[in-house]
Amino acid sequence: MTPRHGAAALVCLVLLAGAAAARAQQPAFTLLGSIPGRADLVEIHDGHAYVVDGKTLALFDLADPARPVRHGAYTFPEKIWGIHVAGPLVYVAADFFGLGVLDATDRAAPALRGALKTPGQAKSVALVGGTALVADHMSGVDVIDLGDGRSPVNRGAFFVEGYARDVVAAGSIVYAIDAPTGLYVFDLAAAERLDALEPISAQQSANSPASIEVATDVSPPLAVLVGGGALQVYDLSDPRAPRRAAGFKTPSGRPARATLRGAVAYVADAQEGLQVVDLSTPASPRVVGAYATPLPARDVAVDGSLVLVAIGTPEGEGRVLILRRER
Amino acid sequence: MVLGRPASCAVLLLTSTVALATQGRGQLAAAEWPGFRGAGAGTVADDPALPDRWSATENVVWRTPIAGYGWSSPVVWGDHVFVTAAISAGAEPTPIRGLYDPGDEHGKARLSAPHRWMVYDVDFATGRVRWSREIRNAPARVTRHIKNSFASETPVTDGERVYVYFGSLGVVAALEMDGRVAWATEVAALDGRQGFGTAASPVLHDGRLYVVHDNTTESFLAAFDARTGRELWRAGREEVENWSTPFVWAHGRRTEIVTAGRGKIRSYGLDGALLWELGGMTVNTVPTPVTAHGLLYITSGYPGANPRPVYAIRPGASGDITLAPGATSSEFIAWYQPLLGTYNTSPLVYGDYYYTLLDRGFLLCHDARTGEQVYGRRRISASASGFTASPWAYNGRIFLLSEDGETFVVEAGREYRLLHTNTLDEMTLATPAIVRGSLILRTQSALYRIARRAQG
């Protein structure tokens, strides 16, 4: 072996060791069970699954993930586009119905505590203290005083140019997206006149963003927009001025939704199943794990090591997979 | 002047209209209201008889129920008020107000029941239905958005006949003033890209009727002999859908027919030859062009699209006048605003100002000559469902009619000031006619004549 050959062998060994280490860090998943039936959206909260199928929200006990137990359900008159779970209450964006506040204290019989018809189609709901923010196709982002949830009151709306699709909040900073391309930042604390709220920033994002997630417990804080066949990653170091860090085409090219846990994005990536994308270097997202699903992945929720993936076809076949992340 | 049939009392009336054009803010006094938005694109000369306040009972001269469903606007000539409607033999879906994602369920409703396609002549003085004429009894040949109707095209009249176009049926017809059908001819009725149905109104100029029908199969602009109904020419168009009424632009150099479109704005000569074209519109082009100050204003503004352009165009262009990237003006484009376009409402130019009524209830004001902003987005009402009817103006006031039937009255000028609101409490998408001191306003089920102190 010449010195040159020796050096090359050393490099190979280092690379192989690195690859093995990387594989060791790659997340792996074990299928624990499933919830039968089509699911459009899924959330997990306090050991329970919240599963949306069309107009119906159903609750499941995941104490034994291998044997989920259905508690109860509530059916709205319109399609459910988004939910936000906060303790025993579930805030529901239900299309032309508007905002619904479900009391799930008795999970076997969730009951409508209150509701407010928003001006157009309610698409998503976020919460800031006692204020609900509802992405509404007609008005933009409605700012709603919840009180005890029985008689919500609309205080005004943030204007967006297109059709509002999703809204999330990080403290008083509100991020909203619209179709076809807008990303907006609003400051709820600075809002004095709620009859004509203007954004503190607005920019073009990916084409047709469908959802937005933010993570503020990482450095830098991140936002991820899903839509247009890709993830759009934003650096929120200045929370009032998102800076686009990367556009990342997922393996399917058709990501449906995502959820952020720290700097890791769990992506429901259509026919490519669940994809786990590392965003610790926001400018260079990389897939670090995956779970092949038998049907296209539509939504994903994560709580600790438990991962729920809603899978299904447009024809109605579907279920929710209950996975455990092993590493 | 859009109309021009020779040698009739109507022409004399119109001539006297022109003589009044120097009154008020330079708008025509509305002796007649012959087509969509009248001869002054929603503006008329000041007239103290015109109403400022009204309700379902206040200042109402008459209210006449109109059978069927239709969002065509009323047109008026002499003592004739014409409207169209389609009466379904089956269940009619309830329209949903506002802007929304209709999906297939609401966006392309296929209503297979036969419809009676109707033209009504209502007496201007009394509100009595003088005659009604069934043009066809047949199912629609296209689908429609549930907020659209099968009678959304506004008729046009020259005082000798009234001309109607039912795009969802593919029929163009002329009726005598006594209701007899002079002629009716079949044209294509083809679905557009989204299946929302049709709405572009016919226009009339110098004895010819012009109809645009953009669809995914065979889009065209066609000219018909208004006397006989014979098709004179047809220009093919590379478009897939369109709801914008063509505009006959008569300026010092020539007369041309300007059409907005999803792909391009195109202007045609009276022989159908393409004169000029301009790219850079949004999807779903609905507003109708207007002219003032020697400029032609054309816009489209699908919500959230970028750009949502407004172009102010000088006369005399030829060829492709599309702006170069980054440019905001050129030899034939006096000014351009990239994010000012509206979705459904047409712009209003009143005096020195260009007013923009956003469908979601905001008013903006720009300098009509330069495009410079006078005031930005002002929310008209947080509770209004939306705005589809185009704004109109007289007596120094701008009138903004919401889909709920509420008319918000705003002071014209450099400052936004909401004066009061008039309520009819019924869904309204049609743009009113303004004629001889009266407002002719159509709601979902009725036609109103509104005048100050309910004068007869």
**Residues A173-193: tens digit of each pLDDT:** 999 999 887 899 998 887 665
User: Residue A307: which CATH number?
Assistant: 2.130.10.10
Sheet of B446-450, strand order: B60-65, B446-450, B438-442, B433-435
- Partners of A159 on chain B (C-beta within 8 Å) are 360, 362, 377
- Which uninterrupted H or E stretch holds B349? strand B348-350
A272-303: pLDDT as tens digits: 999 999 999 999 999 999 999 999 999 999 99
CB contact under 8 A, A163 and B306: no
Kindly tell me if the per-residue pLDDT of A169 is higher than 80: yes
Among A120, A157, A182, the residue with its CB nearest the CB of B99 is A120
Tell me if A173 is assigned to some domain. yes
Please tell me the predicted confidence (pLDDT) of residue B152.
98
Kindly tell me if the per-residue pLDDT of A17 is higher than 70: no
Closest to B58 measured CA to CA, from B424, B426, B419: B424
Radius of gyration of chain A (CA): 21
CB within 8 Å of A212: residues ≥ 6 apart:
A166, A167, A168, A175, A176, A177, A183, A223, A224, A225, A226
Whether the link from the prior residue into A77 is cis, omega within 30° of 0, is no
Please tell me the predicted confidence (pLDDT) of residue A42.
98
| Chain centroid, CA A206 distance in Å | 17
Number of domains present in the structure of chain A: 1
Instruction: For residue A96, give how far its alpha carbon lies from the nearest alpha carbon of chain B (Å).
Output: 9
Among B96, B101, B362, the residue with its CB nearest the CB of A163 is B101
Tell me if A97 is assigned to some domain. yes
CB contact under 8 A, A157 and B305: no
Please tell me the predicted confidence (pLDDT) of residue A204.
73
Instruction: For residue A139, give how far its alpha carbon lies from the nearest alpha carbon of chain B (Å).
Output: 7
Query: Which domains occur in chain B, in start order?
Result: 65-377 (2.40.128.630)
Q: Which amino acid is at A268?
A: A
A34-74: pLDDT as tens digits: 999 999 999 999 999 999 999 999 999 999 999 999 999 99
Tell me if A2 is assigned to some domain. no
Tell me if A15 is assigned to some domain. no
| Residues A29, A35, A41, A44, CA torsion sign | negative
Q: Which amino acid is at B452?
A: R
Task: Look up the pTM and report it.
Answer: 0.88
- Partners of B385 on chain A (C-beta within 8 Å) are 119, 138
| Residues B344, B450, B38, B190, CA torsion sign | positive
- Partners of B100 on chain A (C-beta within 8 Å) are 96, 120-121, 137-138
A119-130: pLDDT as tens digits: 999 999 999 999
d(CA B386, CA B344): 10
- Which uninterrupted H or E stretch holds B104? helix B103-107
Q: Which residue of B has its CA nearest to A138?
A: B99
CB contact under 8 A, B378 and A196: yes
Disruptive mutation site among B99, B308, B363 for chain A (greatest number of A CBs within 10 Å): B99
Strand pairing class (B319-320; B274-279):
parallel
Closest to B26 measured CA to CA, from B40, B16, B11: B40
Tell me if A165 is assigned to some domain. yes
Tell me if A182 is assigned to some domain. yes
d(CA A300, CA A288): 16
Whether the link from the prior residue into A180 is cis, omega within 30° of 0, is yes
Please tell me the predicted confidence (pLDDT) of residue B434.
97
CB contact under 8 A, B101 and A137: yes
CB within 8 Å of A133: residues ≥ 6 apart:
A125, A126, A127, A141, A142, A143, A144, A167, A169, A174, A176, A188
pLDDT tens digit at each of 456 positions of chain B? 333 333 333 333 333 333 333 333 445 557 999 999 999 999 999 999 999 999 999 999 999 999 999 999 999 999 999 999 999 999 989 999 988 888 888 999 999 999 999 999 999 999 999 999 999 999 999 999 999 999 999 999 999 999 999 999 999 999 999 999 999 999 999 999 999 999 999 999 999 999 999 999 999 999 999 999 999 999 999 999 999 999 999 999 999 999 999 989 999 999 999 999 999 999 999 999 999 999 999 999 998 888 999 999 999 999 999 999 999 999 999 999 999 999 999 999 999 999 999 999 999 999 999 999 999 999 898 777 899 999 999 999 999 999 999 999 999 999 999 999 999 989 999 999 999 999 999 999 999 999 997 654
CB contact under 8 A, B101 and A139: no
Structure token digits, residue B234? 């047809």
Among A180, A195, A204, the residue with its CB nearest the CB of B382 is A195
- Partners of B377 on chain A (C-beta within 8 Å) are 159, 196
Tell me if A237 is assigned to some domain. yes
Chain B: residues touching A (Cβ < 8 Å):
96, 98-101, 303-306, 308, 339, 360, 362, 377-379, 382-383, 385-386
Please tell me the predicted confidence (pLDDT) of residue A156.
86
What would the mean pLDDT of A297-311 be, rounded to a whole number?
Answer: 97
- For residue B95, give the DSSP letter: P
Among A121, A157, A180, the residue with its CB nearest the CB of B100 is A121
The domain in which residue A48 lies consists of: 41-325
CB contact under 8 A, A138 and B96: no
d(CA B37, CA B287): 11
Number of inter-chain CB pairs under 8 A, A vs B: 55
Evaluate whether A96 touches A118 at the Cβ level (below 8 Å). no
Tell me if A5 is assigned to some domain. no
- Please report the DSSP string for B228-283 in residue order: T--EEEEEEE--S---PPPEEEE-SS-EEEEE--SSEEEEE-TTS-EEEEEE---S
Count the residues in chain B. 456
Disruptive mutation site among B94, B96, B97, B100 for chain A (greatest number of A CBs within 10 Å): B100
What would the mean pLDDT of A226-238 be, rounded to a whole number?
Answer: 93
- Partners of A195 on chain B (C-beta within 8 Å) are 379, 382
Instruction: For residue A112, give how far its alpha carbon lies from the nearest alpha carbon of chain B (Å).
Output: 24
Instruction: For residue A189, give how far its alpha carbon lies from the nearest alpha carbon of chain B (Å).
Output: 20
CB contact under 8 A, A96 and B360: no
Count the residues in chain A. 327
d(CA B223, CA B233): 5
Please tell me the predicted confidence (pLDDT) of residue B194.
95
Sheet of B274-279, strand order: B247-250, B255-259, B264-268, B274-279, B319-320
Please tell me the predicted confidence (pLDDT) of residue A18.
47
Q: Say which residue the tokens 């004895």 belong to.
A: B207
* Predicted-complex ipTM score: 0.81
